[in-house]
Amino acid sequence: MKVTEKDVKYIAQLSRLAVPQAELEIFTEQFNQILNYAEIMKKIDTTGIEPTPYVLPISNAFREDIVKPGVSHEAALQNAPAVEKDGFKVPRVIE
Amino acid sequence: MKLYELTAHELHKKLVKKEISSVELTNALYKRIYEVEDKVNAYVTLDKEVALVQAAKVDKKLAAGEAIPTLAGIPGAIKDNISTLGLRTTCSSKILSNFVPIYDAHVIKKLRTDETIFLGKTNMDEFAMGSTTESSFFGATRNPWNLNRVPGGSSGGSAAAIAAGEAIWTLGSDTGGSIRQPAAFNGCVGIKPTYGRVSRFGCVAFASSLDQIGPITKDVTDAAIVLNTICGKDEQDATSLNVEVPDFTKALVPDVKGLRIGLPKEYFGAGIDQKVKAEIEKAVKKYQELGAEIVEISLPHTEYAVITYYIIAPAEASANLARFDGVRYGYRNMEATSTPEMVTLSRTEGFGAEVRRRIMLGTYVLSSGYYDAYYNKAMQIRTLIRRDFEEAFQKCDVILTPTSPVVAYPLDGKMDPLQIYMLDVTTIPVNMAGLPGISIPCGFADGMPVGMQLIGKILDEATILRAAYTFEQATEYHKVFAPLGGNNK
């Protein structure tokens, strides 16, 4: 399976990234290098093997539902690149 | 002996005996930092004013004759992906280069309770994605043993700071070897605790099922001391374990008689530097002399560990790093005229090449049509890697391996990403299985430190600490200081 520059652009779009033209060729090459290497996984038959998303057998971690103070508006907005009134300001979403 | 050359446990005694004050000690560390930092670049941010205020508080307590915790008044440093209230936390990325956290990580809260001193934040590979600390937005860190070589990574700043005498203890984080490998490259002790031992709350997430915070120190005793403070259940991290935290310093007993040490043959095969192998073999012999029993074991799925990791970790990273959108914090492209454009441009300009590569790889392996072939398959192989360890631990109590198949390599960017990824084969399986692993110095090759890794059973940090301590007490490697020069051209 070979990933093309067009595929890389599509994946970038899904990732909310742009690939600068200067990087497109090298990115595509590195992508294929890694995916070619991934072919070794085919050597193992994993039929019926449970996947391991987490190593420890923890399921729901419950705690008491106690009201605690949250983050203040002031603190939440402290690192915002742009603020208007009491909110985060972004460029127009709907024309 | 200079103050910056001493360990936390030695300095604690001096503080208590009033031979030195914490302010004096903290000033000595900053003096050392100013002397060597232009060569090493271990730090992203220093916090001298606050550190000295904290040191003065500890001195006041000491003057009043109050008892203090072991780490009180002892200057350390924190990897820059661990959130510190009011102190810039950048992940060595442009996208967070101005980010000032509004809360402390759980480990930081615990360290503050112990009244320790934070000198500053240490350099790292951007978002902990790397093994060289070259991908930092703030420039590469250099190895104090030879300034032309990499310090390893991603916690390269934390390890180089220890080797250069720029901190007494540091915290790193380890997703695929990011504490142990730089510890090995810099002749330090580094421990990755069992997954779930230490709360990840406030550690900027890279791959949540693998990330774990741990200490980098000058000796095993200090590693146990820092562990004592940072371990423990935290309800803000759902994966944090509700288990008793033993006093890890109690494990520091110089005795390995009858301890079964497993040597996995897969870790000594092709790809290992023969000089590194020779040093590890010497260490094995030492353990035999000390009364340990050496057992040959096999971890047959080792060859799949690297690719499995480079599918699972980017997959998790692609989801975790989706939060960086330029809306609420971090870098924003101010020229964009629409919100989607603003998000895309902010991310593209804010992340470096390696981070973008991994986000895209992760997005790809999770995308429809490829999920089963890559991500699910990798998680299944992860199960097999885990089982390898379960079987191996039927025959032995700890597993001994080289921490890295090589010593620190030249800082010249000559290796391609896959070549560098392959070198993580000795550390990655430990994260995959959630096991504790420690790296300690065990020799030199080409003038660079060699690290030995000891892997323990789940939650059995005590046994690897005991084995590490026993070796350390019988050798002198941890007492050799980095020359801070070498072939600096």
Residues of B whose CB is below 8 A from A90: 327, 339, 342
Chain A residues within an 8 Å CB radius of B374: 38, 41
A35 within domain boundaries: yes
**Strand-pair category, A83-84 with A87-88:** antiparallel
**Strands B398-402 and B437-445, sheet pairing:** unpaired
Contacts of A8 (CB under 8 A, 6+ apart): A19, A24, A27, A28, A31, B360
Beta bridge partner(s), residue A47: none
Interface test with B, best of A36, A55, A63, A92 (most B CBs within 10 A): A55
Output the CA torsion sign for B318, B320, B323, B326: negative
Tens digits of residue pLDDT in B210-257: 999 999 999 999 999 999 999 999 999 999 999 999 999 999 999 999
A55 touches chain B (CB under 8 A): yes
On whether residue A39 sits in a domain, the answer given is yes
* pLDDT per residue as tens digits for the range A2-26: 899 999 999 999 999 999 888 999 9
Tell whether A75 is covered by a domain. Answer: no
> Is some CB atom of chain A closer than 8 A to the CB atom of B418?
yes
Residue A31 forms contact with B (CB below 8 Å):
yes
Between CA B486 and CA B326 the distance in angstroms is: 43
CB B91 within 8 A of CB B48: no
Mutate which: A1, A19, A73, A90, vs B, most B CBs within 10 A? A90
Residue A20, in any domain of the structure: yes
Q: Identify whether A16 is part of a domain.
A: yes
User: Does A56 contact B239 at a Cβ distance shorter than 8 Å?
Assistant: yes
From chain A, the residues in CB contact with B353 under 8 A are 23
> Is A50–B310 a contact, with Cβ atoms under 8 angstroms apart?
no
- Residues of chain B with Cβ-Cβ distance to A81 below 8 Å are 326-327, 329-332, 334
Q: Which of residues 348-367 of B touch A (CB under 8 A)?
A: 348, 351, 353, 356-357, 359-361, 363-364, 367
Averaged in consecutive runs of 10 residues, what is the pLDDT profile of chain B (489 residues)?
96 98 98 97 98 98 97 98 98 98 98 98 98 97 97 98 98 98 98 98 97 98 98 94 96 98 94 95 98 98 96 98 97 96 97 96 94 96 98 98 97 82 95 98 97 98 98 96 69
- CA Rg value for chain A: 23
Number of domain units in chain A: 1
Residue spans per domain, chain B: 3-261+395-479
**Does residue B61 carry a catalytic annotation?**
no
- Full domain range(s) for residue A30: 1-45
Is A34 within 8 Å of B361 when comparing Cβ atoms?
A: yes
- The CA distance from B237 to B201, in Å, is 6
Residue of A1, A5, A6, A17 to mutate when probing chain B, most B C-beta within 10 A: A17
Residues A63-93 pLDDT 10s: 889 999 999 999 999 999 999 999 999 998 7
Neighbours of B250 (CB within 10 A): 12
Is residue A61 situated within a structural domain?
no
Q: Which residue has the tokens 């709360």?
A: B199
Cβ of residue A81 closer than 8 Å to a chain B Cβ: yes
User: What is the spatial distance between Cα B287 and Cα B281, in angstroms, rounded to a whole number?
Assistant: 10
B363/A71 CB distance under 8 A: no
pLDDT of residue B489: 39
- Cβ of A11 within 8 Å of Cβ of B367? The answer is yes
CA dist B488 and B486 (Å) reads 6
Helices (H) and strands (E) in chain B, counts: 15, 11
Check: CATH 3.30.1360.80 for B3-261+395-479? no
C-alpha to C-alpha distances, B423 to B176, B265, B273, B416, B432, nearest whole angstrom: 11, 16, 11, 12, 16
Q: Which two tokens stand for residue B199?
A: 């709360």
Round to whole Å and give the CA distance between B121 and B133: 14
**Residue A58 placed within a domain:** no
pLDDT single digits (tens) B362-390: 999 999 899 999 999 999 999 999 999 99
**Would you state the pLDDT for residue A1?**
60
Neighboring chain A residues of B376 at a CB cutoff of 8 Å: 51
- Residue B482 has what pLDDT? 94
CA distance A41 to chain B (A): 7
- Decide if B178 is catalytic: yes
Taking the model in full, what pTM does it have?
A: 0.97
Q: Which residue from A minimizes the CA distance to B435?
A: A55
**CB within 8 Å: A15 and B318:** yes
Q: Is residue A18 part of a domain?
A: yes
CA distance B187 to A42: 38
Residue A71 touches chain B, beta carbons under 8 Å = yes
ipTM computed for the complex = 0.95
Cβ–Cβ under 8 Å, residues B7 and B249: no
Please enumerate, as own/partner, the contacts of B57-65 that have beta carbons within 8 Å and a separation of 24 or more: B57/B115, B58/B15, B58/B22, B58/B115, B58/B117, B59/B21, B59/B22, B59/B23, B61/B115, B62/B15, B62/B16, B62/B18, B62/B21, B62/B22
CA B250, B251, B252, B258 torsion-angle sign: positive
B79 is catalytic: yes
CATH of the domain at A1: 1.10.20.60
- Which of B100, B236, B307, B455 best tests the A interface by mutation, with the highest count of A CBs <10 A? B307
Q: B325, B320, B318, B329: which is closest to B96 by C-alpha?
A: B329
Q: Which of B92, B131, B135, B154 is catalytic?
A: B154
Dist. CA B330–CA B310, nearest whole Å: 26
